[in-house]
Amino acid sequence: MRIRGIVHRRDLPLRGISETERRRLLRQGRVRRVATWYVTPEAPEDLLPILQRGARATCLTAAEHHGLWTPLHSGAHVYRPRGLSPDQLGEEEVGHGRGLRCWPDTDPVAALPLALDHAARCLSAPEAAILFESALHRRKLSMDAVARCVAGLPRTLRTPFSRLSSRAESGTETAVRWWLESLRVTVVPQVWIPAVGRVDLKLGTNWIIECDSVRYHDNLEQFHRDRARDLRLRALGFVVTRLTWEQVFLEWEATSEHLLTALRRRDHRKKLPR
């Protein structure tokens, strides 16, 4: 993936930059050299230490640069050439790859299929699914392209990804749906309810779960729209649960216990009023 403000030295002629021009830009301070790269002030700062060590961004770090919804994480995920040993990575860097003989391209960030391949091997299946489903929802990859990514994985890793859906609209929704499916709960994403519109998840006959997709949701107008929708759903006989990003990714142990309690009562199996 090309990144604005970062050019590999081999690509300078392709950008119309001659050797004389390269030297002039360096003298003027308009670009600086980072290992085999030339960067301008608009280059993302998080990538520069990775490139300086001779590695490149992949997995969760690449997914962020590709514009995907990513779960909470710390540290950078990088893939490395054969000449760079794991102990040469940064203290908080997570290494990927098996020591490539050479880079497949001159881009500073792994192409999305490669980043997803690394994610499937690095993360839990539900975490990797968040990236795959975000790529589908944002039309970064087609379902056929995702299927090819999954087909290249070891058999033990491929099986869970048969549940991937292009209908999930947020990582929060993916995380909750995958947890419910792991319990063999019947759950359908993005269901259309007359007089209400689409809802994130429908469990059984009458339980609607709406998932906030952003941290610290504080849009007052959206808050009022959401509550109006909830009221209409209640009037139709649905039970509505609204989960925040924080409840799913910071307080999941307590959140999942509350959801399990409701599931055990089998309230979601009750018939809707006529």
What is the residue extent of each domain of the chain?
A: 6-159, 167-269
pLDDT at 218: 65
pLDDT at 23: 93
pLDDT at 216: 55
Query: Hey, what are 257's tokens?
Result: 């216990």
> Which DSSP letter does residue 166 get?
S
Q: Is the pTM here over 0.75, yes or no? A: yes
Q: Using an 8 Å Cβ cutoff, are 6 and 108 in contact?
A: yes
pLDDT at 181: 95
pLDDT at 47: 95
Q: Bridge-partner residues for 187, per DSSP? A: 203
Correct CATH for 167-269 of 2.10.70.10, 3.40.960.10, 3.30.1120.10, 3.30.230.70: 3.40.960.10
Kind of pairing between the strands at 77-81 and 94-100: parallel
Q: How confident is the prediction along the chain (274 residues), in pLDDT tens digits per residue?
A: 899 999 999 999 998 999 999 999 999 999 999 999 999 999 999 999 999 988 899 999 999 999 999 988 888 999 887 777 777 777 778 888 765 666 778 899 999 999 999 999 999 999 999 999 999 999 999 999 999 999 999 999 999 999 999 999 999 999 999 999 999 999 999 999 998 999 999 999 999 999 987 765 567 777 788 888 889 999 999 999 999 999 999 999 999 999 999 999 888 888 777 7
Dihedral sign (CA 243, 249, 254, 257): positive
The sheet carrying 187-193 orders its strands as 187-193, 197-203, 207-211, 239-243
Q: Which of 123, 126, 201 is nearest to 168 (CA)?
A: 201
Query: Hey, what are 109's tokens?
Result: 């960030």
